[in-house]
């Protein structure tokens, strides 16, 4: 290798670290009984074979940890992989679970605690409320088809898609989702828990639709709302997704 080439390599930038906002599917575990978990995964996989396609999943153990029951994390990870899910991290406050996660090369996400400052607690009257700032409502607009394997996330705003969402693609929004083409893939609105979020869709052929964590897979969507080119408004009533032609 010439001296000039060596000098160019030494002076070049090999990479750049950038902050990014990505949304991953979380599997919130409610029970340490992994037979129940596996049976539920098997049933869901049988209904929607395209739903599990190396999907990155965050294992949220914080709910089940409140019961202080033993949990076989390695077995849980094995089950996930058997159903083509890709565990990338564990959300936990349990030190033992953190060590197991490290041994499996998984990211560890701890639940942060909000500090309470003594001066603020002792003299709350000294803290004057700040005037509320008017909210600026924005939308993320995508004017190209969303291809299979692609994920689009609209953080803190609505998502507007003027084309189609292909099988195996996933679109997510903290607010509403508007799709003016055919929805073949997955659409998840209100992903941060907004129960008032809605999905508007011109032609519904979805693998999955969800609002604030409440979802329906393809086989659960009423046939009368599929493939009829009617514009639908999908909203949440209680924990049930409802459909209205508009």
Across the chain, what does the average pLDDT equal?
A: 80
Q: Which phi and psi angles does 32 have, rounded to 5°?
A: -80, -5
Top CATH class, 22-109: alpha beta
Residue 180: pLDDT band (50, 70, 90) is: very high
Q: What distance in Å separates the CA atoms of residue 146 and residue 87, rounded to the nearest whole number?
A: 24
Domain ranges of the chain: 22-109, 139-245
- Range with top average pLDDT, 38-42, 62-66, 159-163, 207-211: 159-163
Edge-to-edge strand order for the sheet containing 186-189?
151-154, 170-173, 186-189, 208-211, 214-217
Q: Which fold does the domain 139-245 belong to in CATH?
A: Pectate Lyase C-like (2.160.20)
Write the DSSP symbol of residue 232: E
Per-residue pLDDT reduced to its tens digit, 109-151: 765 544 444 344 444 444 555 555 545 557 899 999 999 888 8
The separation between the first and the last C-alpha atoms of the chain, rounded to the nearest angstrom, is: 68
Q: What's the rounded mean pLDDT across residues 16-43? A: 78
What does pTM read for this prediction?
0.52
Q: What distance in Å separates the CA atoms of residue 89 and residue 8, rounded to the nearest whole number?
A: 38
- Is pLDDT above 80 for 19? no
- Is pLDDT above 50 for 84? yes
- Range with top average pLDDT, 92-96, 132-136, 240-244: 240-244
């Amino acid at each position: 290798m010439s001296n000039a080439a060596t000098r160019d390599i030494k002076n070049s930038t090999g990479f750049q670290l950038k902050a990014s906002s990505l949304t991953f599917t979380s599997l919130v575990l409610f029970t340490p009984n992994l037979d129940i978990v596996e049976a539920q995964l098997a049933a869901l996989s049988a209904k929607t074979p395209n739903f599990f396609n190396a999907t990155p999943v965050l294992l949220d153990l914080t709910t089940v940890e409140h019961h202080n029951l033993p949990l076989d994390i390695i077995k849980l990870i094995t089950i996930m992989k058997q159903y083509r899910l890709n565990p990338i991290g564990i959300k936990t406050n349990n030190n033992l679970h953190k060590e197991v996660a490290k041994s499996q090369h998984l990211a560890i996400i701890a639940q942060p605690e909000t500090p309470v400052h003594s001066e603020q607690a002792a003299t709350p009257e000294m803290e004057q409320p700040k005037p509320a700032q008017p909210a600026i409502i924005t939308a993320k607009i995508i004017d190209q088809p969303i291809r299979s394997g692609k994920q689009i996330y609209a953080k803190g705003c609505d998502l507007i898609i003027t084309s189609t969402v292909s099988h195996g693609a996933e679109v997510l929004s903290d607010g509403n989702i508007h799709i003016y083409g055919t929805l073949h893939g997955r659409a998840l609105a209100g992903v941060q828990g907004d129960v008032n979020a809605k999905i508007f869709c011109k032609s519904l052929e979805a693998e999955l639709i969800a609002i604030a964590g409440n979802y329906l897979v393809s086989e659960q969507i009423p046939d009368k709302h599929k493939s009829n080119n009617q514009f639908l408004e999908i909203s949440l009533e209680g924990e049930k997704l409802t459909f209205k032609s508009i």
